[in-house]
Structure formats: C-alpha cells, structure tokens
Copies of this chain bind each other. A is one copy, B any other.
Amino acid sequence: MLSTTQSMHFVAVLPLQSGATIRDYSLSFETYGVLNKDKSNAVLICHALNASHHVAGVYEGQDKSEGWWDNMIGPGKALDTNKFFVIGVNNLGSCFGSTGPMHVNPDTGRVYGADFPVVAVEDWVDSQARLLDAMGIRTLAAVMGGSLGGMQALSWALQYPARVRHAVVIASAPNLTAENIAFNEVARRAIQTDPDFHDGHFYEHGTVPKRGLRIARMIGHITYLSDDVMNEKFGRQLIAAGQGTAQRDYFYSTLEAEFQIESYLRYQGDKFAEYFDANTYLLITRALDYFDPARRFGGDLSLALASATANFLLVSFTTDWRFAPRRSREMVKALLHNRREVSYAEINAPHGHDAFLLDDARYLAVVSAYFDGVAKTVLA
C-alpha cells in the first residue's frame, strides 16, 4: 500500500484549553482505503509521542518507510483498509509536518519556538474534528489510538459523543500517575537545562539541545520496555561479548559503554536527537501530564465518562508499567458504571508499553475481531 501525505490549512482561529488561540495552521494527514458514499466508514487514528500521520503503507520508492502501525492497518489487516477509510493526522505542535514550534508565528513573523501555545489533548481532538468537517465526515465509525493516542480516542468520545460510534483505547490511562509525570519532568528538565536550548528559541541561535533530547529519549526507552524484556534482550551482556566464548574482563571505565543496554540506549538517544524537536517534546509530554477528564468532576471518572455514547474496546498489556492494566480497568469500570458497551482485553505480553506497536497474534486478533463487528454494525 502506497502512502501520500496531504496537508490542509486552517485560517480560522482555534480556541485552546489554555485560553490562548492559534490561527493559520496546517495539519498533515494521510488516508488509506476509500471513503464510502454515505461517509460512514471513516476511522481516525491518533498518534502518541513519537509518531505522525504516517500510520500505514510505504512511500513510493521507499520500501523501508512503513507507517508506525503498518502491522495493524492495511488491506486485509486487523483494521482492514478494504473496508474502512483510515485517516492518520499529525498533531498540532508536532515536528512531522503539522504546524509546530519550528514554524512562523503569524502574529509576530518570528518562529514560534517556546511561544508556541501549550496544546492539550482536547485541542488536538478539536483540530481533528475540523479536519473531518473539511472532509465532509460527520461521524467516525471508530477513533483509535495507543498510549497518548488512546487518550485522544477517549477524549473524542467525550467531546464529540455524537460523532463517534466506536472508540478503541489501547495501552492508555485516564490520566498520568505521579510517577509518569515525574519521568516526563526529568526529560523536560534535561532539555530545558541544556545550554543549547536557549529558553526554547534555539532555532534563532542555530543550535539544537541534543544533549537534553538524548537523555529524554533514553529515559523514555526505559519506561517503554519491561524489566523482563530488557533482561531477555540485554541482560548483563557486555558489548564485546559473543566474540568467542572466553569471558572478557570489564573495561573498568565510567565513560565507555560497557553493557549492551548502555550502547542500545546511547544509540536510541543519538538517533532521536537528530530528528525530534525539543519544543515538541515539551509540548507533547505536557499534554500527557494535563490530560485528566475526571478533574472537572472532582476526580470521579464515572461522572466524567457519563457523556460518552460510543462503544468501547480497551486493550492493555500485562508488563506495561507505564500505562498498567489497572489504569485500563479504571476506565472499563467507569464505562460499565455508565452502562456503555465495553470489550476489554488484557494481553499477556512481555514487551511492556511498546507491546501496543508490536506484532502479537492475540492482540491483533482482538482488534481484528472488534473491527469485524464494527463493519457488521456500522457498514450494514
């Protein structure tokens, strides 16, 4: 399946949760499959921290450019683009095409940098709704996302209940725990205290706070994986191990990477710092921190979810300690309390939070079966 990125410009002011506004912005998006005549087969995919509108397929002539959920979405796949019209959209504030901190602020003529408005999950949903308006899509057969994308799917069901038939919320949570916020905060401080950050206006200084981005990504990677899978994949293996069977001595260095887990993390950090925008990292982690639909309801999640009318599929993974199964069960409980139709699968998988992006037969079968049901009811 070939992918083509499109872009849509929005002139009108978008009011944001913070009280600020944004105008003259663009959203990058891709679509897969064909929108049917009554426009009832659209499925919106919401992305997490380090992803984009490029959800499925490959770009022409670039065999290795699979979208980030290509194992899930495509012709004959769990979310079957022979049946559904799938939309991937890049969030406002991202660094993969949609308007973000590296673009020019129309109010000042200067690059936004740190002045890009703080965007909330609810703002992303509002901006996605406008995109659907422009495409003439009134109602989504489904909205689906994992992690931060799952928060957007949940928020869709709350902000636009009449426009969502099904919400698929994977490896997500109704808000972040203190520990989640803590990891985000350490990553942010690493970026913000990098001398190359220049209070977020590093573009003008011709610098990139790569040190901070590297640290942020290393922390992220630790929390995406489970202790189990780290032990299985890396354990205490030394870098030079595997060359013969002789047990080599330690290097006895505090500077050189000694264990394979160290060089893996350094590599991931280096790679990330080459392409990810530091201000985007701050914005997206803050959107995660702020999401908390129960907040306006005194912390009562059942009350908060009362406005949802969609049917739900929730999926969690046993070794995911970033968004643990108990967080999904909180949502399931609150939805059941509101007599919503809810399917829930807790997948026994060793891969931690990353599992939602990986091939796992049981997981894909659950999603596939759910969308078979969606097709039967929504497309009937």
By a beta-carbon cutoff of 8 Å, the part of chain A in contact with chain B is: 17-20, 114, 117-118, 120, 175-179, 181-183, 185-186, 188-190, 192-195, 200, 211, 214-215, 218-219, 221-222, 225, 227, 230-231, 233-236, 247, 250, 252-255, 257-259, 261-262, 265-266, 269, 279, 282-283, 285-286, 289-290, 292, 295-296, 321
Closest residue on chain B to residue A237 by CB atoms: B178
Q: Which of A195, A221, A250 lies at the interface centre, i.e. has the most chain B CB atoms within 10 A of its CB?
A: A250
6 A-B pairs closest in CB distance: A18-B252, A254-B282, A178-B230, A118-B252, A178-B234, A193-B211
29 contacts between A and B (CB under 8 A): A17-B252, A18-B250, A114-B255, A118-B253, A176-B236, A177-B227, A177-B230, A178-B259, A178-B261, A179-B222, A179-B231, A181-B259, A182-B222, A183-B222, A185-B218, A185-B257, A185-B259, A185-B262, A186-B215, A189-B215, A190-B190, A193-B211, A195-B195, A247-B296, A250-B290, A254-B282, A254-B283, A255-B282, A259-B289
Structural contact, A186 and B259, CB atoms closer than 8 A: no
Bound Cα distance from A257 to B286, whole angstroms: 11
Q: Is the interface of A mostly helix, strand, loop or mixed?
A: helix
> Do A218 and B230 touch across chains, with their CB atoms under 8 A apart?
no
A296 nearest in chain B by CB position: B247
Chain B residue at smallest Cβ distance from A324: B227
User: Complex: how many Å from CA A265 to CA B189?
Assistant: 10
The interface residues of chain B lying within 8 Å CB-to-CB of A231 are: 177-179
Q: Which residues of B contact A118 (CB under 8 A)?
A: 252-254
Q: Which of A190, A233, A296 neighbours the largest number of chain B CB atoms within 10 Å of its CB?
A: A190
Cβ–Cβ contact A178 & B236, under 8 A:
yes
Known: A178-B235, A182-B230, A236-B181. A189 touches B254 (CB 8 A): no
**Which of A186, A211, A218: most chain B CB closer than 10 A?**
A186
Are B222 and A188 in contact (CB-based, < 8 A)? Answer: no
Alpha-carbon gap, A292 to B247, bound state (A): 13
The smallest beta-carbon distance between A264 and chain B, in angstroms, is 9
Residue of B nearest to A235 (CB): B178
Q: Which of B20, B193, B257 is the one whose CB lies under 8 Å from A214? A: B193
Since A114-B254, A190-B215 are in contact, a sample of 15 more A-B pairs with Cβ atoms closer than 8 Å, ordered by chain A residue number, is A177-B227, A177-B230, A178-B227, A178-B230, A178-B235, A179-B222, A182-B230, A182-B265, A185-B259, A185-B265, A186-B218, A186-B219, A188-B254, A227-B321, A254-B279
